[in-house]
Structure 1
Amino acid sequence: MEKLKKTPLYDSYEKYGGKIIDFAGWALPVQFEGIIPEHEAVRTKAGLFDVSHMGEVDVIGEDAFKFVQNLITNDISILEDNQVLYSPMCYPDGGIVDDLIVYRFTKNHFFLVINAGNIEKDFEWMLKNKGSLNVDITNISSSVTQLAIQGPKAEEILQKLTDTNLSDIKFFFCKRDVLVAGAKCLVSRTGYTGEDGFEIYSDRESATGLWDKILQAGKEDGLKPIGLGARDTLRFEVNLPLYGNELSESITPLEAGLGFFVKLDKEYFIGKDVLVKQKEEGLNKKIIGFEMKDRAIPRHGYEVFVGNEKIGEVTTGYLSPSIKKNIGLALIDAKYSELGTTIFVKIRNKLNEAVVVSKKFYKKNYNK
């Protein structure tokens, strides 16, 4: 663990029973109490996540709007100040550089949140595509801490620590300069679990105090610290993609099922021409949801077959803690993507029967 990157909360993990693993070069807790109780806590009460490994980039200048608009597939012209949106960011061939959250502070100031394993790659890509635009692009990841509180009781718990009325922060909006337990924070309401909740950005010096005070404030409400394991099962059940699984440089946003976030009527964005053509000609491969008919549990990377033909691979698979079924997502040949199609997942050299189902495994409970 010595060579791994660490968040400001690394020394706090042991105090709460964290089991540390290597995640994209970071020393992070895969679990505290256990994946199942942590997952259930978020679905029924609340959970607190340390997501300080995520990257943050400031984009400031008179061409900030144009730069971000060219960079991503979604359309930031719909945003008002302090509004937030989700978007893929593509290569010219349509493959995904990363998926990110875009905060508009003003027309000349955007704040981008990117995935931990892609920080250096993303930042270089942004600089490469700056061109002659008048914009300053700054990687501020090393100075920012991010916590996330998620679950039905998230607002009630966090409200104990701030005088700001959190109910005024609507879904996919943010508020700056919020005092949380005495620390100045950016608070937003997006989420990566399918439950209501908040992201809390602060400086690194405030991280440990915020973590401890939030957990203390939620102790009687059942708030638990949550590791990467439950973070993955939670996001997977509500079909929220993970870079490296459902998203990659060899998968386009359309193939990943993210067409809603690809605005082909925009004047320009990197990769637009390829995605327009792909939309017109149809997809050769798609991310689908499936449910196992046999008892085996699918896992990332397992091969998918129809007859003797390999048609794709599992991107994510679990015994779902919420619906108690063995389910998964897979990238497969599009001609087998129709709901109800029988497919087979190769698990320990045996082909196990599964059926294509809706990717909406679990109903989202966002406060909109």
Structure 2
Amino acid sequence: MSDRLSPLHEVHAAAGAVFTDFAGWQMPVRYSSDLAEHKAVREAAGIFDLSHMGEILVVGPGAAAALDYAVSGRISALQPGQAKYTLLLNDAGGVLDDLIVYRTGEDRFLVVANAANAGTVAGELRGRADRFDAQVHDESDDVALIAVQGPRALEVLLNTEGFALDGGHPDGEDVADALSSLRYYRALAGNFNGSAVLFARTGYTGEDGFEIFVSPDAARALWGALVEAGAPFHLVPAGLAARDTLRLEAGMPLYGHELDAETLPVQAGLGRVVDLGKPGDFVGRAAIEKGPAPEASVLVGLRGEGKRAARADYPVRDESGATIGRVTSGALSPTLGFPIAMAYVAPSHAAEGTVVAVDIRGTAHPYLVTPLPFYKRKKTS
């Protein structure tokens, strides 16, 4: 049952949003058109409500060491203001969640978890941190999260009134200079009309963009200011449907589709996210070092023809009709104009250029194994 509402729920309803149940939350799936919202993010900018995500603080003198033990990446190597994509593994090396960890101070880290897993992540982190001088606080109810994504995202933020840096910036930059120079996977503390915010140059769309953490009390005013500032840049509200096709085109995994507790990171193409070079033990290390069975399926990209899209859990078959895998995510790509999918298949059929068949409601449709991601944004100089 969906009984949790975003602090922006009334704003979405007034904008004509259609809602869906997502991890126990009522969240906008679309406002007008999935395609129009997707196109806006690729060509201009879209604004997303991500307040359903989990935010967990890990603080204390042993916080960095605790996170090194708790997750797959070397969190202690982060400098304040840096962020890292990482994985929370179980003892068998399977993925309990994929996370972004921001180092917001010398002994202070913000862990962002998927909505469905926030409670699990908080509990696991508490258990794993108990041997260290660190405390874990689940602050999910005290944080709203708004994302502005797209090639004009920076322009939207620079045009938004009310942003400032707390106490100035060490090198004398103002907020416009600081946001303009903020690099990918970096974060910057500031405020919006006196309310504390954290600007992060991160996202889940394959485009440039920002995610802004703010108190729920200030979320409506911030959303309104961003929408007003974004009007000249064709900013539109975007829902979960557009977010899903955007991340699929960008080859970004979604927990519960490409990632789960039975799948090792290397199977999902995320072996690089596990730092076996860091000193000491971490949860799942022995299983990761052992690796999956030789016949374990691996994640691939699939490109189809025509307009019929593969969907999650559709069977993937070889030339003889034998099942060799399953689709995890699929759609007709709004940007590219042809069907795309991610799927787990047997290693024998994972090579680029291999032709497989996806069973779409009883009919075999040819798909070509193709590299991920399907789409890469053009980098500006």
Q: Normalising by structure 2, what TM-score?
A: 0.92
Shift of 1:182: 4.9
**In 1: Cα distance, 2:12 partner to 2:328 partner:** 29
For these two proteins, the number of residue pairs brought into alignment is: 365
1:174-323 equivalences under 5 Å are 174-176=187-189, 178-267=190-279, 268-278=281-291, 284-293=296-305, 295-306=307-318, 307-323=320-336
Contact 1:64–1:107 (CA under 8 A) maintained in structure 2: no
The 3-state SS of whatever aligns with 2:245 is helix
Deviation at 1:180, TM superposition (A): 3.0
- What does residue range 1-368 of structure 1 map to in structure 2 within 5 Å? 3-161=2-160, 162-163=163-164, 164-165=175-176, 166-176=179-189, 178-267=190-279, 268-278=281-291, 284-293=296-305, 295-306=307-318, 307-365=320-378
Structure 1 residue identity aligned to 2:338: K
Structure 1 Cα separation of the partners of residues 299 and 210 of structure 2: 28
SS in 2 for 1:255: helix
Specify whether residues 366 and 84 from structure 1 end up closer, same or farther in structure 2 by C-alpha distance, changes over 3 A only.
farther
Distance in 1 between the 2:186 and 2:32 partners?
A: 32
Distance 1:126 1:77 in 2: 16
- 2:217 & 2:78 partners in 1: Cα distance? 31
Further displaced range: 83-92 or 119-128: 119-128
Over residues 225-250 of structure 1, what are the superposed CA-to-partner deviations in whole Å (9 max), with x where a residue is unaligned? 01000000111101111101111111
Q: In the aligned structure 1, how far is the partner of 2:233 from the partner of 2:380?
A: 19
Instruction: Give the Cα separation in 2 of the matches to 1:115 and 1:328.
Output: 22
Quickly say closer, same or farther: Cα 1:137–1:333, change in 2 above 3 A.
same
Deviation (angstroms), 1:296:
2.2
Quick one: distance in 1 between partners of 2:69 and 2:208?
A: 31
What is the alpha-carbon distance in structure 2 between the residues aligned to residue 365 and residue 190 of structure 1? 16
Three-state SS of the structure 1 residue aligned to 2:268 is coil
AA aligned to 1:265 is: G
Take 1:305 and 1:141, find their aligned partners in 2: how far apart are those partners?
42
Q: Note if contact 2:155-2:233 (Cα within 8 Å) is conserved in structure 1.
A: no
Segments of 5+ residues of structure 2 without an aligned counterpart are 165-174
Moved more, 32-41 or 181-190: 181-190
Cα distance in structure 2, aligned partners of 1:266 and 1:362 = 32
Counterpart of 1:302, as a letter, is Y
> Distance between the aligned counterparts of 1:131 and 1:207, measured in 2?
34
What secondary structure does 1:218 align onto?
Answer: helix
CA distance, structure 2, for counterparts of residue 257 and residue 282 of structure 1: 15
Question: How far has the Cα of 1:354 moved from its partner?
Answer: 1.1
Percent identical: 35
User: Following TM superposition, by how much is the alpha carbon of 1:282 offset from its aligned partner in structure 2, in angstroms?
Assistant: 5.0
The secondary structure found in structure 1 opposite 2:40 is helix
CA contact (8 A) 1:4 1:22 kept: no
Question: Counterpart of 1:184 in structure 2: which amino acid?
Answer: A
Residues 293 and 355, structure 1, Cα contact 8 Å, conserved in 2: no
Aligned partners of 1:195 and 1:366 also within 8 Å: no
- Further displaced range: 129-138 or 291-300: 291-300
Q: Report the CA distance between 1:151 and its aligned residue.
A: 0.6
Amino acid at match of 1:34: S
Q: Give RMSD over aligned pairs.
A: 1.6
TM-score in terms of structure 1 length = 0.95
SS of structure 2 residue aligned to 1:129: helix
